[in-house]
Amino acid sequence: MTINVLVIDSRACQRAHTQAALNQAGDMYCEAAEDVDDALKHLEAGSWDVVVCALPACEHGNTNLIDAIIGCGERPDLVLTTHGDPILLTNTMRLAQAHGIRVRGYAVDPISPNVLLGLVISQGTSAPCSQARAPSPRIPAEEVAAALARGEIQVRFLPQSACRAHDQEIIAAEARLSWHHPLHGWLDMRDLVRLVTGTEHACVLFHHSLRRIGEAMVLWRQYDFHPAVSCIVPLCLLNRSDSPEGLETALNRYGLHARDITFELDLPDLDPNGLQALAARLLLLRQQGVEFSIRNYGATGTTLANLIDLPVSEIKLASDLINGIGFDPLVQRVVSGIVALAKALDMRVVATSVQRRSDVEMLATLGCDFAEGPVVGGPCAPDALARLNQDRTRQDAAASGSLHPHSISQGRRSP
């Protein structure tokens, strides 16, 4: 599938260089515009997957561009650059996201074609798990079950590394399920959970996750690789009266222990009236050694009260909080405050969708424990993840002068 890219850059040489680099990348078609008015003509004349705006941040021009993208039948994603006022850049990100436009990230000016190429394809065909679209309510739960029986629902593992470490060892991984629906495209774990919530298929889907995690851990032991693992647990299963016994039985069935896995909670899907009942069941499971994490913390549907009411040991910061972390003082102060609160409650903090090493360094400065996203690696099959970790430990050993690469010790992550 060809990715259509529109680059907006007022600098003729830079514009031509960027356009040539993207056109040579393969499976990509790129055109260039010199300003917003020129870009509007391109947007009206064709269909675009990604718009790269390399203009200095300008409130009037960016507003016109956002309005033009909103008017497109198929809204393209947006990539921005950091030259100009960083506050205006962040405001552009927020304005775009408020109107349902996906912002893939930003590139530091002067633009590196390799960095830009990574942003353009980061949520294209090479990364299906992050390309999920909202599922249609007409997809019945039985169709998900049939896809599961046919082996169409994939399990990949998204790696995490420690923010404060100088090495790139993979210390944990999030298990992600995805399914390519013939009509609706890629659906991720959250989409799938919503489709089966309230049906018997929710339990089947969850067991499928645990089975694949158990198989992965058996394979990883052959590589002396012992990452902690996390996965989404459907809230409808936790609200059952037999959830403590049922979860323990499921873990035992697939050779797993409570210390091996952290269960992620997607709270926007939670009925506020059921919060107290859920908290009581989580507390019982917590007493058995099961740990829980709040996904997308900072997004709509998560509150400070969640940290008090729910016995969780980890929060995963929403990707919207990470946009601009490398340069925007406001974003940095917000993240610093959330991290300080989490630490006061003895919780780990994971930053998601982190795109560059400089962002990791800033997150480490702010006290964040772990990072996941393009800077660490994309979703991998279990064997590919183990080989990736082997390569990185060898590189770290060579850089440090050690003769023997070290491996990650078994057990739960700790800040």
- H-helix or E-strand containing 196? helix 189-196
Report the candidate in 374, 327, 361, 331 with the shortest Cα–Cα distance to residue 108.
327
pLDDT per position as a tens digit, 348-404: 999 999 988 889 999 999 999 999 998 899 899 999 999 999 988 887 777 666 544
- Whether 128-400 and 3-121 are alike in CATH topology: the answer is no
What residue has token string 């004349």? 45
* The pLDDT of residue 389: 92
Distance of CA 314 to the CA centre of its chain: 16
The tokens of 46 are what? 């064709």
The confidence band for 61, taking pLDDT boundaries of 50, 70 and 90, is low
Report the candidate in 389, 355, 385 with the shortest Cα–Cα distance to residue 372.
355
Tell how strand 185-188 and strand 172-181 pair up: antiparallel
Q: Is the pLDDT of residue 248 over 50?
A: yes
Fold of 3-121: Rossmann fold (3.40.50)
Domain 128-400 falls under CATH 3.30.70.270: no
Higher pLDDT, 258 or 128: 258
pLDDT per position as a tens digit, 3-50: 888 998 888 888 888 888 888 876 788 899 998 888 888 888 888 888
Domain boundaries, the chain: 3-121, 128-400
pLDDT per position as a tens digit, 294-334: 998 987 667 887 888 899 999 999 988 887 788 888 889 99
What backbone torsions phi and psi does residue 77 show, to the nearest 5 degrees? -75, 165
Least confident piece of the model among 218-222, 261-265, 306-310: 306-310
- On whether the pTM is more than 0.95, the answer is no
* The pLDDT of residue 72: 79
DSSP string of 114-158?
Answer: HHHHHHHHTTSTT-GGG---PPPTTS-HHHHHHHHHTT-SEEEEE
d(CA 379, CA 381): 7
Q: Is the pLDDT of residue 129 over 50?
A: no
* The pLDDT of residue 222: 94
Q: Could you tell me which residues are beta bridge partners of residue 187?
A: 179
* Average per-residue pLDDT for the chain: 82
What backbone torsions phi and psi does residue 318 show, to the nearest 5 degrees? -65, 145
